């Protein structure tokens, strides 16, 4: 672990810093393991999409402090003259709510807050583009207590910064979306859609699909159709102004290209290095992401950090990566960890986010004998819901065959989240005592479910994972290109049949998980032996397959 001077202000352990886009997300981040959260109001931070009012900020800070969690407020705007009159009122309000830190990018704003509220701890935003120990030293001498390093800082550079700057707290991004340019210094969104990327209003123009067109001599522009007959007739070359004659190839097929589309940052495979070095704050990006993202990412990193400190020698990222794989993303990359990006850091095939699982909803209220559940995606009879406790690593499965909508006062077999239903789930459907359920699953507990994917989507997940393995040093380039060819083929095939890994209904619907509430498994005499077998297994653990490829519970029934 990085050496901390005897009189250091730095914490003994690295903190997990989670984003909070609104009050509900803040509470979920706190419940699922954040040591600190960061947030801001739309007018004075770089988050024009923020849902926080000043009243929400006050309530959020009170909630976080009650749970022993720190709160950092973002004041990282690049100020124009029109912003200056707001600063006095903002600083007065901030002083009253007493955050644990204020994140600033603009040197003028830094000096203003330092003079107006000297008791506030000032942090330097990633927007300040700190990439060297020299910049860290500068801000430390100005009175900053923490510097957020730019995403472009490699681990080798971070190590040198830590060695040369042992007294100040350092913060590094470990997870979240990556910008194709220099830590948010992008004008593409402004140019393409007149939305300021540096005001938290980015239109993500870098993630759009781009195609090549051909301008004829008469000034008309034609589509250059690439198909099996024409694709070998053309080669697209790019010549840079001062490299005359040096022609660089541009590759594109008939589907266009996502040439600027970065994968998502995920440093979980290297997290032990950051913990050992003594990075004080491990930052997760995503104030515009869903409640599910905030809760599940916090949960994964919380487990990983705690396990490292408990047994650093035997720490292994595999099980935490499996948890992160349940969160929708664009594929994972180590980004600048090794010092430079590789071709595996970008997703040229697709820009949508996906995962094998999806956000089913969350518990909005806990009654004496039931959960009130707020769905966030479509749920059908026979779906298995997985309840994720903020306090336990063991999850709980429940297969549901009907849904009672409290708002409508009727039972339905399909729930559509867009209609804002409120579903009542009685405790009697579970095989645990009510007191245990209430203790394990408080309000805002998250629920997920398996997501049906097309063959194309399954192929893309495998392709992205292989790219991630190659970045970590144990993947296969040969398999990578095989998977890419398979992905291209399935994309062209455009199969539309979506299917689950497990069947939905009937005897074949027993997936072998032994779900709470699965009437087939728990009530049919045919599964008596299988129920006995489940007693020796953990809740939700899959039964083994027999030689014919069927789950033990089905085989026993036969």
- What structural domains and CATH numbers belong to the chain? 15-178+263-324 (3.20.20.70), 357-450 (2.40.30.10), 507-557 (no CATH)
Alpha carbons 320 and 299: distance in angstroms, whole number: 9
Q: Is the pLDDT of residue 429 over 90?
A: yes
Residue pointed to by tokens 């689950």: 500
Alpha carbons 413 and 428: distance in angstroms, whole number: 19
Q: Is the pLDDT of residue 450 over 90?
A: yes
Among candidate residues 150, 179, 199, 176, the one with its CA nearest the CA of residue 18: 176
**Contact, 113 vs 145, CB < 8 A?**
no
User: What does the pLDDT average to over 288-316?
Assistant: 97
State whether residue 270 is helix, strand or coil. Answer: helix
Detail the DSSP E strand segments found in 20-128. 36-39, 70-74, 101-104, 122-124
Among candidate residues 264, 257, 254, the one with its CA nearest the CA of residue 208: 257
Strands 36-39 and 70-74: parallel
The tokens of 105 are what? 């990018």
Span 76-126, pLDDT tens digits? 888 889 888 888 888 888 888 889 999 999 999 999 999 999 999 999 999
Give Cβ neighbours of residue 268 (< 8 Å, ≥ 6 apart). 174, 175, 300, 301, 304, 317, 320, 321, 324
Compute how many other C-beta atoms are within 10 angstroms of the C-beta atom of residue 349.
20
Q: Which residue has the higher pLDDT, 76 or 3?
A: 76
Among candidate residues 318, 311, 38, 379, the one with its CA nearest the CA of residue 176: 38
DSSP letters spanning 445-490: -EEEEE--B-HHHHHHHHHHHHHHHHHHT---HHHHHHHHHHHHHH
| Least confident piece of the model among 81-85, 127-131, 502-506, 526-530 | 502-506
Q: At what angle do helices 23-31 and 291-310 cross, to 10 degrees?
A: 30
Strands 396-399 and 384-388: antiparallel
Q: Is the pLDDT of residue 73 over 90?
A: yes
The tokens of 198 are what? 């540096």
Residue pointed to by tokens 């300040």: 128
Angstrom distances, CA of residue 484 to CA of 4, 13, 79: 47, 41, 46
User: What does the pLDDT average to over 359-367?
Assistant: 97
| Least confident piece of the model among 17-21, 350-354, 448-452 | 350-354
Alpha carbons 258 and 251: distance in angstroms, whole number: 11
* Phi, psi angle pair for 234, to nearest 5°: -125, 150
Determine the pLDDT at residue 1: 46
Q: Which residue has the higher pLDDT, 416 or 195?
A: 416
Among candidate residues 305, 64, 48, the one with its CA nearest the CA of residue 174: 305
3-state secondary structure 110-165: HHHHHHHCCCCCEEECHHHCECCHHHHHHHHHHCCCEEEECCCCCHHHHHHHHHHC
The tokens of 397 are what? 């499965």
Alpha carbons 68 and 553: distance in angstroms, whole number: 45
| Least confident piece of the model among 76-90, 236-250, 425-439 | 236-250
| Least confident piece of the model among 88-102, 434-448, 507-521, 525-539 | 507-521
Torsion (CA) 482, 485, 487, 489 in degrees, nearest 10: -140
Determine the pLDDT at residue 439: 95
**Contact, 518 vs 512, CB < 8 A?**
no
């Amino acid at each position: 672990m990085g050496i901390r001077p005897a009189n250091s202000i730095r914490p003994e352990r690295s903190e997990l810093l989670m984003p909070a886009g609104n009050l509900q997300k803040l509470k979920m981040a706190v419940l699922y393991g954040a040591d600190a959260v960061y947030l801001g109001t739309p007018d004075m931070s770089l988050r024009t999409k923020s849902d926080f009012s000043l009243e929400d900020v006050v309530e959020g800070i009170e909630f976080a402090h009650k749970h022993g969690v720190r709160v950092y407020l973002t004041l990282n705007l690049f100020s124009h003259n029109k912003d200056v009159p707001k600063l006095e009122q903002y600083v007065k309000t901030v002083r009253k709510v007493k955050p644990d830190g204020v994140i600033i990018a603009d040197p003028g704003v830094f000096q203003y807050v330092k003079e107006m509220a000297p008791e506030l701890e000032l942090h330097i935003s990633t927007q300040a583009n700190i990439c060297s120990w020299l910049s860290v030293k500068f801000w430390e001498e100005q009175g900053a207590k923490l510097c957020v390093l730019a995403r472009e800082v490699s681990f080798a550079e971070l190590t040198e910064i830590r060695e040369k700057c042992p007294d100040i707290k350092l913060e590094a991004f470990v997870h979240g979306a990556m910008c194709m340019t220099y830590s948010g210094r992008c004008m593409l969104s402004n140019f393409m859609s007149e939305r300021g990327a540096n005001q938290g209003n980015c239109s993500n123009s870098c993630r759009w699909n781009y195609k090549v067109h051909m301008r004829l001599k008469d000034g008309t522009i034609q589509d250059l159709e690439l198909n099996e007959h024409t694709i070998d007739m053309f080669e697209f070359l790019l010549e840079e102004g001062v490299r005359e004659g040096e022609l660089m190839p541009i590759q594109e097929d008939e589907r266009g290209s996502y040439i600027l589309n970065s994968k998502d940052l995920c440093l979980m495979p290297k997290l032990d290095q950051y913990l050992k070095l003594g990075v004080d704050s491990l930052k997760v990006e995503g104030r515009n992401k869903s409640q599910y993202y905030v809760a599940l990412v916090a949960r994964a990193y919380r487990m990983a950090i705690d396990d490292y400190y408990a047994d650093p020698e035997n720490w292994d990222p595999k099980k935490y990566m499996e948890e992160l794989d349940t969160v929708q993303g664009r594929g994972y990359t180590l980004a600048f960890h090794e010092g430079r990006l590789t071709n595996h850091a970008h997703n040229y095939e697709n820009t949508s986010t996906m995962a094998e699982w999806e956000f089913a909803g969350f518990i909005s209220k806990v009654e004496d004998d039931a959960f009130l559940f707020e769905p966030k995606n479509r749920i059908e009879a026979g779906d298995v819901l997985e309840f994720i406790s903020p306090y336990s690593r063991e999850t709980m499965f429940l297969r549901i065959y009907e849904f009672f909508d409290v708002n409508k006062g009727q039972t339905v077999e399909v729930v559509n989240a867009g209609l804002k239903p409120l579903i009542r789930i009685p405790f009697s459907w579970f095989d645990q005592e009510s007191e245990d359920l209430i203790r394990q699953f408080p309000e805002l507990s998250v629920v997920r479910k398996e997501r049906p994917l097309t063959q194309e989507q399954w192929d893309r997940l495998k392709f992205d994972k292989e790219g991630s393995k190659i970045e970590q040093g144990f993947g296969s380039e040969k398999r990578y290109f095989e998977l890419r060819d398979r992905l291209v083929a399935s994309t062209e095939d455009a199969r539309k049949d979506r299917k689950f890994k497990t069947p939905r209904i009937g005897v074949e619907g027993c997936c072998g998980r032994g779900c709470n509430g699965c009437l087939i498994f728990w009530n049919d005499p045919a599964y008596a032996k299988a129920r006995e077998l489940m007693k020796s297994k953990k809740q939700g653990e899959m039964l083994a397959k027999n030689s014919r490829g069927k789950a033990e519970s089905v085989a026993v029934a036969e």
